[in-house]
Amino acid sequence: MADSGEGFKLVANNKKAYFDYFIEDKYETGIALHGTEVKSIRMGRCSIKEAYIKVENEEVFIYGMHISPYEKGNIFNKDPLRVKKLLMHRYEINKIFAQIQHKGYTLVPLQVYLKKGLVKVEIGVAKGKKLYDKRADIAKKDVKRETEKEFKVRNLG
């Protein structure tokens, strides 16, 4: 979804989501924000590390997304941790709701980025990893790192 084409700027990335979950499906959503929140996001002052997503009354909301108050915003600043609505089409919400009804599936925020001047949130339908899955991922990373190191040494020497 999030390509590095024209008019794209990554603001926040949730690397932990890829470590803790198998990402089955990804969706690009808009987000309902107030003016000073948009300015703060443009400055890169946003975090989704502790955020999670819920579907309530056929609407999608993100909880725990921290947007730092805008310095010049004074009285117009909103609560940094307020619940924010994600903007999606009805058929997408219904599809996601059907997917997360299965045991072990949840919604996680993956990225927050600016695309052609608009703030977008990439969310993923994810299934939790077990401890042995995480160990396998760590082992793969170690093997990849070792082979890259050997390749680098071989090419330099």
pLDDT per position as a tens digit, 80-96: 678 889 899 999 988 88
Backbone angles phi, psi at 75, to 5 degrees: -70, -15
Q: Distance between CA atoms of 48 and 14, rounded to whole angstroms? A: 6
pLDDT of residue 75: 67
The pLDDT tens digits for 34-72 are 878 888 888 888 888 888 898 888 899 999 888 888 777
Tell me the Ramachandran region of residue 118: left when phi exceeds 0, alpha when psi lies from -120 to 50, beta otherwise.
beta
pTM (predicted TM-score): 0.74
CA-to-CA distance for 69 and 77, rounded, in angstroms? 6
